[in-house]
A and B are shown apart, each in its own frame.
Chain A
Amino acid sequence: MQNKKSKLDNPILKSISTILFKKTTSKIGTILIVLFLALIFIGPFVIPYGPTQYTPDRYSPPSLAHPLGTDNLGHDVLSQVVYGAYPSLIVALLSSIGGALIGLFAGVLGGYYTRAEGFVSGAADIIVTFPPLPLLILVGMISPNIGNLIIIALIAVLWAPVGRAVRSQVLSVRKRPFVDAAKASGMSDLKIVMKIMIPETASIAFAYFILDVAVAIIIVTALEFLGVGNPNQVSWGSMFYWGEQFAFPAGAWWWVLAPGVSILIVAMSLALIGFSIEEALNPRLRTQ
């Protein structure tokens, strides 16, 4: 037991690949997300309809010609789901990468250098109190081309929880004997940060990155659903935006079900992976 614990206690990014394929939960998550990514990469080459191409079948329920049905203008829903994945996924990916990197940097800074501590944890405390969606609505009202603004605003929100988690991990790593040993042997602070602190905490930041992609997808689609941004750009959020207005009176449940289930699959597989990594990092969370 002791032996096993010390092995898991000291994780580096390499071990993440073993986590991804070893645990049942993360295995399910990995397989689901890979299948889904394959669908949206291959989809554009296989699906005969473009996402904004009109077909004569309006409000057609799922059929052989349209596996996920069509909407009020005869757009193929499968094609919209596939092409519409890109805007949401790109915004979510970029903002989560930015959030995780800044959070990692700020957390290490705030945990290792006592002078930065008050500033970093104070800033994180302030950020996490802002309700993200209303803040993004306020930001998104500035202009209809909000892609970049939304990414910046999301990074400004997402880094804070990462920073908090990384900081508390750094505080516990700092107490370990090998850090004292490194200091005693004349290792500079910068080198300790680069060689010990960042590798020791990168996997926590990675777990947050995975979970934040899911959170960001949900927030971004909610934002588009509420009418912030350009509803004429094909995305999961805009499918909800139009679907909410037109699908109900026409009884076209498939139109809203498709993007909803897509978000659910992506978010759930990321959650399974993210929580498994967290569990591996914190052995006490493991189900016995």
Chain B
Amino acid sequence: MDFITRRIITSLVVFFAAINLDFILPRFIPGNVADAFVSKPISGNEYQLIVHRLGLDLPPQLQYVHFLEGIFTNLPPFFGYSYQYFPQEVSALILSRIGWTLLLLVSSLLIAIAISFVVGALASMKRGGKLEYSSMYVSVLAWSTPAFFLGLALIWIFGVTFKVLPQFGTVSDNIVGLGPYVSSVIQHAILPVATMTSVIYGQSFLILRGSTIQVLGSDYITAARARGLRERTIAFKYVLRNSLLPLVSLSGYAVAYIISILVAVEFVFAYGGIGDLMVDGIIFRDYPVIEGCFFYITLIVIILAFIGDLALLKLDPTLRK
């Protein structure tokens, strides 16, 4: 089996496993899912009606068929209605917010990877130098700081004490015009993006460092030095390209962890993406929303990991057969 077939099969298995977990896990909840649907006591008749409406009086195998039908015969997939935002559909709710999550995720990924590349390459130019030590300690610090704590600290410093940046939300209300809108979005994104950048930097720099040092020991680097190439050329052209490989090949796992942390960070900043929506679902016991968020978050990881695999295929010729 070649590399890319293997990855496609893995992605498909993860996709179907996520859907099945979405069906199975909430059915372990003691009592009835309908209990969560209403907040006040209701009569037996009303209860029966709700149970019937949600299809919970059907045998499990029929419920399963209906569940799969809802997901595969609708676009966007049908995950039922949100309890909290009834009668909104879960998918519509998620799709209206997914853009904010992607904005945070992609911008912090790009910034963090750019920083760790430049620092990694510069640090590799002088082994045992001050930059190598300090950047390593900074990344260990970033690796071990819980993101939600860092987020709260940043809100405390910049939002509460100095009042230079907004404390929460994605964009201010009552904004007219594109310019002010964009600047408000950027202002709101600075702190969450800074928090996520620190998390991703802590993850990626340590992987990158390991591979950079491995590459530095290779013969072709010695050969390049012997040919009299400048250290900077070697660092940015030779070392970086080759040390990319392990980073990209670990990207799937790293993205799964990073997006997990993003859920907590969105909650800290009340940033209206799907992470924040999912945490709202915990508080209101809104199971359809939690199921839907889990599905879409896993889908994001699958897609990003697959993009990483394609990049890996391009970078590493030995994987092509």
Residues of A within 8 A of B (CB): 122, 125-126, 128-135, 137-139, 141-143, 161, 214-215, 218-219, 221-222, 225-228, 240, 244, 248, 253, 256-257, 259-260, 263-264, 267-268, 270-272, 275, 282, 284-285, 287-288
Q: Which residues of B contact A142 (CB under 8 A)?
A: 25-26, 28-30
Contact with B14, one of A130, A221, A222 (Cβ below 8 angstroms):
A130
Which one of B25, B144, B285 has the highest number of Cβ atoms from chain A below 10 Å of its Cβ? B144
CA distance A122 to B260 in the complex (A): 22
Contact with A253, one of B156, B285, B302 (Cβ below 8 angstroms):
B156
**28 residue pairs from A and B, CB less than 8 Å apart:** A129-B10, A129-B14, A129-B256, A130-B14, A130-B256, A130-B298, A131-B263, A131-B297, A131-B298, A133-B260, A137-B294, A138-B290, A139-B25, A141-B25, A141-B26, A141-B282, A141-B287, A142-B29, A142-B30, A143-B30, A253-B156, A256-B152, A260-B146, A267-B144, A267-B146, A271-B140, A275-B140, A287-B128
Chain B residues 246 to 266 lying within 8 A of chain A, measured CB to CB, are: 252-253, 256-257, 259-261, 263-264
Contact with B21, one of A125, A138, A219 (Cβ below 8 angstroms):
A138
Are A285 and B260 in touch, CB under 8 angstroms? Answer: no
Q: Cβ of B104 < 8 Å from any Cβ of A? A: no
Residues 1-42 of chain B: 1 if any A CB is under 8 Å from the residue's CB, otherwise 0?
A: 000001000110110011001100110111000000000000
Are B143 and A271 in touch, CB under 8 angstroms? Answer: yes
Q: Which residues of B contact A161 (CB under 8 A)?
A: 253
| Whole-angstrom distance between the Cβ of B166 and the nearest chain A Cβ | 14
| Whole-angstrom distance between the Cβ of B290 and the nearest chain A Cβ | 6
CA distance A126 to B268 in the complex (A): 30
CA distance A122 to B21 in the complex (A): 18
In the complex, what residue of chain B is closest to A153 when comparing beta carbons?
A: B25
On chain B, which size bracket covers the interface?
35 or more
Q: Cβ of B127 < 8 Å from any Cβ of A? A: yes
Q: Cβ of B220 < 8 Å from any Cβ of A? A: no
Are A284 and B217 in touch, CB under 8 angstroms? Answer: yes
CA distance A136 to B108 in the complex (A): 24
CA distance A138 to B286 in the complex (A): 11
In the complex, what residue of chain B is closest to A219 when comparing beta carbons?
A: B260
In the complex, what residue of chain A is closest to B302 when comparing beta carbons?
A: A129
In the complex, what residue of chain A is closest to B256 when comparing beta carbons?
A: A131
Residues 125-154 of chain B: 1 if any A CB is under 8 Å from the residue's CB, otherwise 0?
A: 001100011001000110111111100110
Which one of A131, A215, A221, A284 has the highest number of Cβ atoms from chain B below 10 Å of its Cβ? A131
In the complex, what residue of chain B is closest to A263 when comparing beta carbons?
A: B146
Apart from A138-B21, A226-B279, list 8 A-B contacts with CB within 8 A.
A130-B256, A130-B301, A133-B264, A134-B263, A143-B29, A227-B282, A256-B152, A259-B149
The 3 closest A-B pairs by CB, nearest first: A133-B260, A267-B144, A260-B149
| Whole-angstrom distance between the Cβ of A151 and the nearest chain B Cβ | 16
Are B305 and A221 in touch, CB under 8 angstroms? Answer: no
Q: Which residues of B contact A129 (CB under 8 A)?
A: 10-11, 14, 252-253, 256, 298, 301-302, 305
A244-B25 contact, Cβ under 8 Å, with A126-B10, A134-B298, A137-B278: no
Residues 275-308 of chain B: 1 if any A CB is under 8 Å from the residue's CB, otherwise 0?
A: 0001100110101001101100110011001000
Q: Cβ of B58 < 8 Å from any Cβ of A? A: no
Q: Cβ of B267 < 8 Å from any Cβ of A? A: yes
Q: What number of A-B contacts does a CB cutoff of 8 Å give?
A: 155
Q: Which residues of B contact A284 (CB under 8 A)?
A: 213-214, 217
CA distance A128 to B156 in the complex (A): 34
A222-B261 contact, Cβ under 8 Å, with A129-B11, A138-B22: yes
CA distance A267 to B261 in the complex (A): 15
Q: Cβ of B206 < 8 Å from any Cβ of A? A: yes
Residues of B within 8 A of A (CB): 6, 10-11, 13-14, 17-18, 21-22, 25-26, 28-30, 127-128, 132-133, 136, 140-141, 143-149, 152-153, 155-156, 160, 206, 209-210, 213-214, 217, 252-253, 256-257, 259-261, 263-264, 267-268, 278-279, 282-283, 285, 287, 290-291, 293-294, 297-298, 301-302, 305
Are B29 and A131 in touch, CB under 8 angstroms? Answer: no
CA distance A219 to B291 in the complex (A): 19
Which one of A122, A132, A137, A253 has the highest number of Cβ atoms from chain B below 10 Å of its Cβ? A137
Are B127 and A282 in touch, CB under 8 angstroms? Answer: no
CA distance A143 to B27 in the complex (A): 11
Are B141 and A268 in touch, CB under 8 angstroms? Answer: yes
Contact with B148, one of A139, A225, A227 (Cβ below 8 angstroms):
A225
Q: Which residues of B contact A270 (CB under 8 A)?
A: 144
Q: Which residues of B contact A122 (CB under 8 A)?
A: 10, 13
Are A138 and B294 in touch, CB under 8 angstroms? Answer: yes
Q: Which residues of B contact A227 (CB under 8 A)?
A: 279, 282-283
Are A222 and B146 in touch, CB under 8 angstroms? Answer: yes
Are A214 and B14 in touch, CB under 8 angstroms? Answer: no
Are A133 and B290 in touch, CB under 8 angstroms? Answer: no
CA distance A284 to B211 in the complex (A): 9
Are A126 and B13 in touch, CB under 8 angstroms? Answer: yes
| Whole-angstrom distance between the Cβ of B268 and the nearest chain A Cβ | 7
CA distance A170 to B11 in the complex (A): 26
Are A228 and B282 in touch, CB under 8 angstroms? Answer: yes
| Whole-angstrom distance between the Cβ of B203 and the nearest chain A Cβ | 11
Are A221 and B146 in touch, CB under 8 angstroms? Answer: yes
| Whole-angstrom distance between the Cβ of A288 and the nearest chain B Cβ | 5
Are A132 and B282 in touch, CB under 8 angstroms? Answer: no
| Whole-angstrom distance between the Cβ of A69 and the nearest chain B Cβ | 15
CA distance A137 to B261 in the complex (A): 12
CA distance A130 to B298 in the complex (A): 6
